[in-house]
A and B are shown apart, each in its own frame.
Chain A
Amino acid sequence: MLKIMLWGAVLLLSACAQQPGKPLQIQALEQPPALAAEFETIVETDGADQQRYQWRFWRTSKRVETHNLQDNSGEIWTKSADGKITYERVFHQQQQVIEYTPGDLNAIGAVPDWSAIATLLNQSMIAGLVEDSREQVLGRPASHYQSNNAGIALEVTWLDREQLPALIKRNDHGHTIATRVVGIYPLAESPWPYQRSTNYRYTDFADIGDKESDPFIQSIQHKIKGGHSHSD
């Protein structure tokens, strides 16, 4: 799910220097508020409700975890003291984890952007957004931003204190992906515990190629981060 948000929704937006309104500025990136949130993502084409996902999100300054409630899988991003990022694809049903070291991520051309991982918004999305109103979401102050470029409309409601979007809605010629927060808590008060993974079986991404006869690996080949070049 997060992959859809982070990698699938990259927009090619031009600078909007001539437009009025404040641009979206992410603050406290090094120490964003530790929190847990639940989101709903709806994918529609021409107004028809096609797919709906519930997913959860846990964030600290060094770790981001998601859990897709539909397929009971998730992702964990961890930032080390020297800024290197590791990634884990977690399959809770099967109690299995595919682990990507920073070297593995480089080798498949995946260059993680911690800001995008922690805020669900990458720089190209933020670049064109301008504030047009203020509102309250779940009793929390928020700013509403919009952009429109080449027929691709982007709408973001940003929770100022939490440094997290309450809404990301992207419409690309009738195809709409809308992600909306439905619950949010300080991490210490989260009603959703981290998914236990200490007893799970860990497999290095680098080892997948030697597990051609492993039924689990065969079953998840299409779900894992395989890679595309960083530049095409």
Chain B
Amino acid sequence: MDHKQFKVIALASLVMAASAAKADNIVETPDFWLESGKRNIKAAEQLKPNNTFAKNVILFVGDGMGISTITAARIFEGQSKPNNRGGEENSLSFEQLPYLALSKTYSANQQTPDSAPTMSAIITGVKTNDGELSVSAKLPREEKNADVVNANKVKTLLEQAEEKGLSTGVASTARVTHATPGACYAHTSERDWESDAQLPADANVKDIARQLVDFNIGNGLEVALGGGRSMFLPATVADPEDTDKTGGRKDGLDLTKQWLNKYPKSAYVYNKAGFDAIDAKKTEHLLGLFERSHMEYEHDRLSDAGGEPSLTEMTSKAIDILSKNKKGYFLMVEAGRIDHAHHAGNAYRALSEAVELSNAVRKALEKTNAKDTLIIVTADHSHTFTIAGYPQRGNPILGLVKQPGETNFAKDKNGLPYTTLGYANGPGYRGPNVRPDLSSTDTAHPDFLQEAAIPLGSETHGAEDVAIFAGGPQAHLFHGVQEESYIYQVMAKALKLKPGQ
């Protein structure tokens, strides 16, 4: 079954459900469940593993998108749709992909990992230590000797794809030098060494931004889109958007100019107008750096002075450029700010970022064919985000818990209402005194911070498994509970690459 078939089935179900709900609002009869179950069984029976090799692989990573985030985002989006049945019945685009597995995210040295070793595992097939990108776990963190780092490099799938003549790209709402995109093309003992300004004085390793521009495997990356402009511009040059600020590099290098000098038919853009003006047919290497640091949250994007493309728009443009290569392509797309919003304790922004990831996946499904394109959607790790209480069906996901049949909010032991969404730790802690009375608080406001049990300046990652959704060639290999590094194995097999070589 290809992507389009799934979309048709999903759309048909949605239309039917919506129409029925509009007609009498009591569609969920026993027959409804039995009939919808039958349809889903039939769809499952029609599933046929696609054992062919993939021409293209698109890997979507929702940074910090644990399963509770997916569930809440599904409801968040569902409740915004007309004629919804509460929102819980909604499916994000990638939840309609046919194959699913769970991923064990621990790193070589930590039970709860960060994005560096997790993305390294996904893109190299090898688990490493926290803070390190695409190197062996034998390498100590912050190793400054380039010879030692080089001896411990682990080849990435993006590098292998370039060696094979495929086009490659990364797109992220975080800095393109951040851990998740960085692990695709760079090897370093310290994820924070994004520009030379962060390197210790006695280090002779290259910073991550420089590794991106100096990348010399195949014909280099075709697409690099995201934030992180300050990592590429010298400290002596004013930023083109935030003109009162400068680049961050101390070595005087303007890596955007190096990109343009290195590649024929290349382009560098830093705002939405420049991005929109790019003709994919005429552009072979596109560098887009839309913020000095991370890009705006999707919720705030339209108010950005310089203008920024959405993750969906970046995905679409990247596919347009990469798909010109008849040999195929590898593209990694990261929704990098789900993680940041969770760290801030802000569920609204985390969920709206996850919905935008769903939009980007939908666009990729529209522009590709499941016969030759493997699409994977996963997370690198989870967060301490919870969906709790016993809210009634259709209760606003960002709201206070109201149980079925009740007119008043559910109360805690002190007689105070509480929200469905919360965090085990983070900035949303309201203690040490009694919890606030949220009765008249707009808990659905985009700037509201969900309550946290333990006070921390920044909410932490969570260690439970994350989901892997997949469709296309070899997608059926995603089953059961797997090590996170298994994702690499499936991608390598799909692209007919020898793992680790």
Contacts and interface: CB of A to CB of B under 8 A. Distances in A.
Interface in B317-372: 337, 339-346, 349
A208 B457 contact: yes
Contact of B340 (A62, A111, A206): A206
How large, as a class, is the contact surface on chain B?
35 or more
Interface stretch (B14-22, B66-74, B255-263, B437-445): B437-445
Given A101-B293, A111-B447, A227-B449, A209 B436 contact: no
A51 interface: no
A206 B447 contact: no
Contact of B456 (A102, A221, A231): A221
Nearest to B296: A103
B341 A107 contact: yes
B179 interface: yes
Nearest to B242: A80
B459 interface: yes
B339 A209 contact: yes
B131 interface: yes
A204 B114 contact: no
B341 A80 contact: no
A212 B244 CA distance: 31
Question: Chain B: interface secondary structure?
Answer: loop
B146 to A, nearest CB: 22
Contacts, number: 109
Contact of B244 (A78, A202, A210): A78
Contact of A82 (B294, B305, B345, B459): B305
Nearest to B446: A106
Contacts of A109: 346, 447-449
Nearest to A224: B457
B430 interface: yes
A196 interface: no
A232 B438 contact: yes
Contact of B457 (A82, A213, A221, A231): A221
A229 interface: yes
Interface string A199-219: 001101110111111000000
Interface in A82-110: 82, 84, 99, 101-104, 106-109
Contacts of B244: 62, 78, 80
A214 B180 CA distance: 19
A198 to B, nearest CB: 8
B297 interface: yes
Interface in B416-432: 426-428, 430
B130 interface: yes
A201 B198 contact: yes
A62 B341 CA distance: 28
A231 B439 CA distance: 11
Given A106-B447, A108-B449, A213 B130 contact: yes
Contacts of B459: 209
B136 interface: no
Interface string B121-134: 00000000011000
A231 B440 CA distance: 9
Contacts of A210: 114-115, 179, 191, 339, 343
Contacts of A204: 293-294
A109 B346 CA distance: 8
A107 B438 contact: no
Contacts of B442: 231
Contacts of B192: 211
B114 A227 contact: no
A206 B305 contact: no
Contacts of B349: 107
B447 A229 contact: yes
Contact of A221 (B300, B447, B458): B458
A108 B456 contact: no
A142 B148 CA distance: 67
B460 interface: yes
Given A204-B293, A210-B179, A229-B449, A108 B427 contact: yes
Contacts of B436: 232
B61 to A, nearest CB: 15
A226 B430 CA distance: 11
A232 B418 CA distance: 13
* 6 nearest CB pairs, A to B: A209-B343, A226-B427, A221-B457, A209-B458, A206-B340, A107-B344
Interface of B: 114-115, 130-131, 179, 191-192, 198, 235, 242, 244, 248, 293-294, 296-297, 300, 305, 337, 339-346, 349, 426-428, 430, 436, 438, 441-442, 445-449, 456-461
11 contacts: A102-B300, A108-B344, A108-B345, A109-B346, A109-B447, A109-B448, A206-B337, A206-B340, A208-B458, A221-B458, A231-B448
